[in-house]
Amino acid sequence: MRKLIIPAIIVFTIVLNAQPSFEFGQNYQIISVNNVNQKFPYAAFDSNGTLHLVWVNQSGSNLNVYYAQSVDEGYSYSDPVRINFHVHTVVAYIQAGPKIVIRDDEIVVVFMDDRTGYTSVYVNVSTDGGMTWGEDLKVSDQQYLVAYHNIGVGVDNELHLIYYSYNNNYSFNSVRYATSPSGLIDFSPSEPVGIANEEMEPCDCCQPDLVIRGNGDLYIGYRNNNSNLRTHYLVRKSFLSDNFQEPVEISNISDIVSYCPSSGPSLSIENNYIACGFHVSQENNSYVNYTSLDLLEFSPAVNVNPGSAPQQNFPVVVLKESVIHTVWMDYRDGNSDIYYAAMGLGATEVVNEQKINDDPENSNHVHKDPFLIWNDNNLYCFWSDNRTGNYQLFMATTSGDQSATITVDYGQDWNLVGLPLEVEDGSYNLIFPESIEGTLYSFDDGYSLETSLIQGKGYWLRFESAGSTTITGTPVTELTISLNEGWNLISGITNSFHSSHIHDPDGLIIPGTIYGFTPNGYSEAEILYPGKGYWIRANNSGNIILASD
């Protein structure tokens, strides 16, 4: 075996930092349209895993609802289709854009439109998987303006629709509720929910949310207004009951403001628990909490970012596997960014906080309209931002490329190293900035001076003194390595694994010839660690495969 003569004793250890359970990857711009602002994304997955997305295209004062679908988890989409029959009269606000639900083979979209002079609620339905759409139907039945709609599918496949109704002078009238039976778009005459009276009413420009439990019970979350005290409430209608029960306070945090905050709560339900995210205008903070559905007594509210004085707003929550996942707009760097954090049921603080949008720090871009959805054990976040000029739709997911961090401790003098992550620039002076210039050597039937590290290859690299470096990039879970007959210098993948798990279909590796370098010299390696280099001997040329266990 040919190698450099290096008598120094080294110390080389590797620590793989524990990564969060969910880590959002790179941002993807989806469905780009020139000279148009795209806003208010909202999505649903069907039982086949197809993603159905709706949003608003705005050109000047003209707003229209568009639909597209993705069969590859949101990475590519069908051609967008406008689904409002009457053009340019759609009405939408933050949190109050189009909503979409899946009912068996039907895709149902509900939105606001003022084609008749007063804003009303309309529905359009596709019965062929989004390929074609019919003429939209007006489904609100009030004389004057209505707004702030939401829709859900019950256990009996009924559609449940809510919206706010206003008087001729635009004062608040009532919260309306209507249903449409399975297989039909034929809504019943709306009825008042019964949460508005002479003393209090829902905040008239704050979007309500609606969720339905597996037993058919329906829950509405809303922001109240009692003489400018704008706390949040939950009201329940039991399955098959005709009446809504008395509202339950979601949080007793005082929130006295003289204006409408334009921010409503977000609800998510799983089994016997319901989670809530909401904004407190008086503090400019957002919170999450939860309750069991048996007790309906909410836990103390937890600030999504207690260390940040600037505003957080418009939280969206998803409750899955007893964890509250939340995204929100955060203004800590000036203009708003999209942030994520999580809190387990029973916990008293959020963890795993991370900024989702990946454009440069202090970029002055605005990121808004966050929406969070869960599918197949992964989270998908959609939002709108103006990094390209106009507001366009972006997506990040925990199912794609993930970020990982590995800290490598190296000793004085020579070390055998490798590149355990996929990085944008593998230059050795960036990966190992304290290394000695001109000392990176690869081996291919002889040593070659190199300037960059490549995944799968091993290298000698020299340092003046002991230290450490941190490498951040995309995990490498599987790697095919080409071997030459004789000795080869290789490196592993992101995770450590046993040498017996190397996939060697052609039997190239000569048994007992995988060596690592230790303070005492060479020793046979049983475990291949990330970031470390190894000698390996082959009886012929060919490929081996390294893969996570």
What value does the mean pLDDT take over residues 124-129? 96
The mean predicted confidence, pLDDT, of the chain is 91
What are the residues whose beta carbons fall under 8 Å from the beta carbon of 456, sequence distance 6 or more? Answer: 418, 479, 480, 481, 490, 491, 546
What value does the mean pLDDT take over residues 124-140? 96
pLDDT band at 355 (very low <50, low <70, confident <90, very high): very high
Lowest mean pLDDT among 133-147, 308-322, 382-396: 308-322
Cα 548 to Cα 501: distance, rounded to the nearest angstrom: 9
Hunting for tokens 């009457």 — which residue is that? 86
Question: What does the pLDDT look like over 143-184, one tens digit per residue?
Answer: 999 999 999 999 999 999 999 999 999 999 999 999 999 999
Cα 318 to Cα 325: distance, rounded to the nearest angstrom: 5
Question: What does the pLDDT look like over 502-549, one tens digit per residue?
Answer: 999 999 999 999 999 877 788 899 888 888 899 999 999 999 999 865
- Token digits of residue 543: 């490929």
Extended strands (E) in 145-250: 146-153, 159-166, 172-180, 191-192, 201-202, 209-212, 218-225, 232-237, 248-249
Is the Cβ–Cβ distance between 531 and 14 less than 8 Å? yes
pLDDT band at 370 (very low <50, low <70, confident <90, very high): very high
Hunting for tokens 């309750």 — which residue is that? 291
Integer angstrom CA distances of residue 252 from 12, 176, 286, 295, 297: 55, 26, 14, 17, 11
- Which domains are seen in the chain, by residue range? 13-19+404-547 (no CATH), 97-397 (2.120.10.10)
First-residue to last-residue Cα distance in the chain: 30
Question: What does the pLDDT look like over 399-435, one tens digit per residue?
Answer: 855 566 777 778 888 899 999 989 989 999 999 999 9
pTM across the whole model:
0.72
The DSSP 8-state label assigned to residue 17 in this structure reads P
Cα 398 to Cα 26: distance, rounded to the nearest angstrom: 9
- Identify the pLDDT of residue 13: 32
Q: Per-residue pLDDT for 289 more than 50?
A: yes
The CA radius of gyration of the chain, in Å to the nearest whole number, is 29
Is the Cβ–Cβ distance between 525 and 489 less than 8 Å? no
Is the Cβ–Cβ distance between 63 and 57 less than 8 Å? yes
Is the Cβ–Cβ distance between 483 and 508 less than 8 Å? yes
What are the residues whose beta carbons fall under 8 Å from the beta carbon of 273, sequence distance 6 or more? Answer: 290, 291, 292, 293, 319, 322, 345
Extended strands (E) in 332-377: 337-344, 351-355, 367-375
Cα 342 to Cα 304: distance, rounded to the nearest angstrom: 9
- Token digits of residue 189: 């005459």
Hunting for tokens 């048994």 — which residue is that? 511
Q: Per-residue pLDDT for 340 more than 90?
A: yes
The helix (run of H) or strand (run of E) holding residue 111 is strand 106-113
Cα 457 to Cα 43: distance, rounded to the nearest angstrom: 43
- Identify the pLDDT of residue 549: 54
